[in-house]
Amino acid sequence: MSCDTSPAPRHVAIVMDGNGRWAERRGLARTQGHRAGVEAVRRTVRAARELGVGWLTLYAFSSENWKRPKREIDVLMSLPEEFFDRELPEAIEKNVRILAIGRLSRLPARVRAAVEDAVQRTAHNDGMRLVFALSYGGRAEIVDAARRLLQNCNAGQLDSAALDEKIFAAHLDLAEMPDVDLLIRTGAEQRVSNFLLWQIAYAEIVCSGVMWPDFQRRHFESAIAEYQRRERRFGLTGAQLRAAAP
C-alpha cells in the first residue's frame, strides 16, 4: 500500500475487462478467461476489505452482454453460483454484506436464487458492501428510477416540484449506495460502458492495461495510490480547496 495517509476510497467500482483477450492470447476458450476472472474477483474482494474500502461494486454482466454467444452466456451465468458456493462462508465470517443491482428478473431462476440467498444470508452484516452488477445497465437503472418516481407522483406520494438529486438517487437500485470515488477499468480500454452512470458523476477514473484475470493486489493498491494523489475539486478551484483545508 502507498505510504500516503489519505483515506482509502469509500466506494470503488470496477469494470473487469479483458477476460476474453487474456484467454485468446493463451490459445484458450474465452470462457476460460471468465473462469480465471473469478480468481481475480476473489483476490480483489479480499484486498478491498483489508485496505478499508467501504463499498466494492463489480460489473459482472451488462445488459449488453445478453447479445453474446449462448455458450459464453451460460458460463457467465454459472459463475455467481460457483462463487457464492465457495466464498459465502468467508463473506459471512468477515462481515461482508453482498448486494446486487441490475434487472435481476432477467437472470435464470437458478442464478437469481443463488444471488438472493447470498444477499439474504449476509443481510445483517455491516462491514464492506460487495455489490454485483448483473444484467446491469446504467441507463436502464436511471429509467427504472424515473419509473418508480412517476409511480410515486401518480400515487400522490411525491410532489414533482419537490424532486431533487437526493430524492432521485434514493430511487436507484440501491438507495443507500454512495457515489463512486474510484472507478477502475482493466483491459486497456478507456470507456465507461454504461456502468453506474449516475453514481460516477465525480469519480476518479483509473484505467489499467492489465487484463482482468491478471489483476493482482499490487495493481489494486497502485490504483488506490493514484486516486490518493489526485486533487478532487468537485467544481471548486484548487485555491478554494486549499483555503478550506484544515
User: 19 or 32, CB closer to ligand FPP?
Assistant: 19
* Part in contact with ligand FPP (CB under 6 A); list of ranges 76-84, 90-98, 121-129, 166-174: 76-84
DSSP 8-state assignment for residue 80:
H
Catalytic residue among 4, 17, 85, 214: 17
Does the footprint of ligand FPP cover residue 136 (CB under 6 A)?
no
For the window 144-183, what string marks contact with ligand FPP as x by the rule CB under 6 A?
----------------------------------------
In this structure, the number of other CB atoms found within 10 A of the CB of residue 2 comes to 13
Verify whether residue 85 is a known catalytic residue: no
* Part in contact with ligand FPP (CB under 6 A); list of ranges 12-20, 46-54, 89-97, 99-107: 12-20
- Ordered DSSP codes for 111-129: HHHHHHHHHHHTTT--S-E
Does the footprint of ligand FPP cover residue 37 (CB under 6 A)?
yes
- As measured in angstroms, the least distance from the Cβ of 213 to ligand FPP is 8
Block residue for cell numbers 434514493: 170
CB 203 within 8 A of CB 138: no
Name which position in 12, 13, 14, 38 contacts ligand FPP (CB under 6 A). Answer: 38
Rounded Cα gap, residues 136 and 192, in angstroms: 13
Cell numbers for 19, please give them.
477476460
Nearest 5°: the CA angle 235, 238, 241 is 80
Question: Letter for the amino acid at 1?
Answer: M
Question: Letter for the amino acid at 211?
Answer: M
Rounded Cα gap, residues 217 and 87, in angstroms: 18
Verify whether residue 65 is a known catalytic residue: yes
Name which position in 11, 14, 20, 196 contacts ligand FPP (CB under 6 A). Answer: 20
Interacting residues toward ligand FPP by CB under 6 A: 16-21, 34, 37-38, 41, 60, 65, 76, 79-80, 83, 132, 187, 212
